[in-house]
Structure 1
């Protein structure tokens, strides 16, 4: 593969002229990439959030059928389950929410409606994550790998090959799952640290004699600081998944490499995360309000609003995964250009080795 080592298609379109006359679609894609640049300096290699979004839209237009197929077969089923909370056992949510409220009261926080709603929402998210874990580790993870592979194929000016993708996944599935499990550990550790820190800070202020209403303010400061830390952790985890697919690293190594890779471009990752989070929150709120709460007449509106919102939610997840992959390529190309390092195209090597093994078995 020509660019699986991490080069941006923009760099490739300027530096390589091979295959431009073979396919007019490829030529159009490359010409669109060339339009935004007139030189190949380091500033050109680092893309901001808006440029990454524009690049993502171009890739989506280039292979819209493939990405929409991934969304329909792998993302939509998970989105429908997550939005509907069909697997969430409400007694568990209530029990966990009551325990959190008890902890909040013990630490000195006032039991205001905001605190109660936050505890209930946090409990719902935790129970949903636990109950939907089999879907996350299968369909959702497979969709992420398929999206990364499709973007890599686009950058390599190759068509998505389902048979080749199957051969690759048989080789790398274990390391992708291991990386995802480490991602879950990191996110769970961040949430646990937040609860411990929040309780500790609130307890200290309570012991010092501050009234509950005033204790709420330092708790809010802790929450804002934690939200930034969690956002950075999620960005690192998303890039680590991409690394586990495209490179021969997994688990803690992929997380460390991801952290090193995005240095200096954390702001871009935060903007991508913020946009995706807002988009998913809006769709979730609409689903909660329009489908779960409101029904017109006999409730027939749910027959089209529910599936439509599931499709929108799946599309946001698709764009988020694509932008994470483009962000990886942007960071990787800048790092390779500044350090002059080279990496082996792992996916292509896996495909060749698999094909060679098949030939050997038939001989």
Structure 2
């Protein structure tokens, strides 16, 4: 494994240091990262950016929205609750967006990540970024199961909350509002942790060229005790991606809805925004790689410290036995 991009004196625990190092790596190979990996991510970026306006006009949206509403009502969620409407709307949009972007996720997004990981860890390997696509594909399939399980867990927790409040007679508006806020926080924490683990598992599978559940388990092991740092890195990257999505809605979708039409300037502006989105995806992969390197360094250092303490303890016991003898 090639590690010329990393100093032997890593570990970096602070998110600011990890972010600065990631930006430095991005700028150090600016011409490469803004060419092949970013261009590979552009089709996925276009699918994500177009998914929001297409979902609103899709005939499948009312169908999925109604099905989810019936499911939530059958699970005894209070229909009059604000969280009920928000959860139903967001889940419907997420499902349609996921289905719309799935072919681009399994192809262009994974190829972009593979190209970025190859530059960071397998620079001397020729066309190795194509060879690690299959491990990434297997890991991404397992990640979908993890995200689905995380959502199911959140539903179970919310269901227990609201059913327990009915049994205990705590059905006042303030109590339901408090339960809704608590449920929203728990939902966000579980999904954020699932996102971090899934993102790291793709990098692990790209480095080791082996995909599947083992990559997810290794990512869970490495991120243990470093969740706060991982979330501190994930939040600004997701905010940047959300800002680009908002820019696309404001500059492209808004102009189209006002009847201006798709002239060449709007198309070029849309492609530029999609290119910005792809560059952020590449930067996010670099941030995850640097964070993973820091986690592995800390992990192995902890093992060395434990082995050293064990040897000291063992040698101390031997000396005591010699004195007794």
Structure-2-length-normalised TM-score: 0.81
Displacement after TM superposition at 1:305 (Å): 4.0
2:292 to 325, 328, 332: 328
Does the 8 A contact of 1:104 with 1:111 survive in 2? no
Over 3 Å counting, the alpha-carbon distance change for 1:328 and 1:305 in structure 2 is same
1:187-226 correspondence runs (5 A)? 187-209=147-169, 210-211=171-172, 214-226=175-187
CA distance in 1, matches of 2:248, 2:84: 23
| C-alpha contact 2:42 2:274 (8 A) present in aligned 1 | yes
| Residues 72/315 of structure 1: CA separation in 2 closer, same or farther (3 Å cut) | closer
Q: Which runs of 5+ in 2 are unaligned?
A: 306-325
CA-CA distance at 1:50 after TM superposition: 1.1
User: Aligned pair 1:45/2:42, yes or no?
Assistant: no
* Contact map agreement 2:142 2:212 (CA 8 A) in 1: yes
Counterpart residue number, 1:10 = 7
Offset, 1:87: 6.9
Aligned ranges 1:1-363 → 2 under 5 Å: 1-3=1-3, 9-11=6-8, 40=9, 45-85=11-51, 88=55, 90-105=58-73, 107-111=76-80, 115-153=84-122, 160=123, 164-167=125-128, 169-170=130-131, 172-209=132-169, 210-211=171-172, 214-247=175-208, 249-295=210-256, 298-299=260-261, 302-340=266-304
Distance 1:112 1:266 in 2: 31
Does the 8 Å CA contact 2:39/2:275 hold for their aligned counterparts? no
Could you tell me how far apart the structure 2 residues matched to 1:183 and 1:2 are? Answer: 27
Is the 2:138–2:211 contact (alpha carbons within 8 Å) kept by the matching residues of 1? yes
| CA distance in 2 between partners of 1:285 and 1:134 (Å) | 23
Residues 243 and 108 of structure 1, relative CA distance in 2, 3 Å threshold:
closer
**Structure 2 counterpart SS, 1:260:** helix
> What residue number does 2:313 align with?
none
Q: Which stretch of structure 1 is more off in the superposition, 215-224 or 321-330?
A: 215-224
What is the DSSP-based 3-state SS (H/G/I as helix, E as strand, rest coil) of the residue aligned with 1:199?
helix
- Mapped contact 2:47–2:100 kept (Cα < 8 A): no
Alpha-carbon distance, 1:273 to partner: 1.0
Count of residue pairs the alignment pairs up = 298
Contact preservation (8 Å) 1:243, 1:258: yes
Uncovered stretches (5+) of structure 1, i.e. residues with no partner: 12-39, 154-159, 342-363
Contact 2:37 2:113 in 1 (8 A): no
Contact preservation (8 Å) 2:200, 2:288: yes
Q: Distance in 2 between matches of 1:327 and 1:165?
A: 25
TM-score when normalising by structure 1: 0.73
CA separation of 1:118/1:61 partners in 2, compared to 1, >3 Å: closer, same or farther?
same
What is the CA RMSD across the aligned residues, in angstroms? Answer: 2.8
* 8 Å CA contact retained: 2:222, 2:296: yes
Deviation sequence 1:148-205 (CA, Å, 0-9, x none): 111225xxxxxx56xx3424643x4433221111111001111122223323422332
Aligned to 1:32: none
